[in-house]
Amino acid sequence: MRDGGTAYRYYQVVAADGKTPVVSSNISLRISGGSTVSQAGDVSDVWAGRTAGIPDADGIVRLRIPASALGSWNTCVALQLLESGLVQTNFLAQVIPRSYDQVWKHRVGGGVSGKIGIFKVGGSGAYETQVRQAMTSGAPTGEQITRIRSGEVRAGLDVGGGLKIGAGGRWTWALGLMREQT
């Protein structure tokens, strides 16, 4: 899970026959051999397991794992799922640094077209710049700058009676620069 975020783990609680959902079971989550991870106050009308820690009508239970319960990032923590106080399963969770891209773009373009007698001509062009900065834990780790130039040319004949003859072409040219930061 991401630093500062919350992850969820889903389980289905079933009876001994392996098919019948159990809806009235006491499910909890704890750090292996340590403190309980609170599920209180986490309610969603969107996800299965509407209330964290409580099985729904299908026996689906959603367990809330906040990054703050696991400690600092890159630490791997063993967690235990308990049903009525008995350990049912163990799993590992790890907090990873928050990473994302910041993107700035701008595009400028224009075009012209016209008709002279039976001849139709037109064209357009654009210039675009995109700066993408990779961020990890709020610090830039890399940057990519892309410059794109594009254009289009059109020409044709309108000879009347619904008959039109035309030709055109498009072109795009891109230049990318990348810089890693340490």
User: How does pLDDT run along the chain (182 residues), one tens digit per residue?
Assistant: 555 688 889 988 888 888 888 887 888 999 998 889 988 888 888 777 788 888 888 889 999 999 888 887 778 899 999 988 888 889 999 888 777 788 888 889 999 988 888 888 898 999 898 888 887 777 778 888 888 888 888 888 877 777 777 877 787 777 766 665 54
Q: Tell me the one-letter amino acid at 138.
A: G
Taking CA 8 as the corner, what is the angle to CA 85 and CA 49, rounded to the nearest 5 degrees?
A: 70
Instruction: Please state the φ and ψ torsions of residue 68, each to the nearest 5 degrees.
Output: -65, -25
User: What's the number of CA atoms in the CB half-sphere (13 Å) around residue 97?
Assistant: 10
Three-state DSSP class for 7? strand
Q: What is the residue type of 86?
A: L
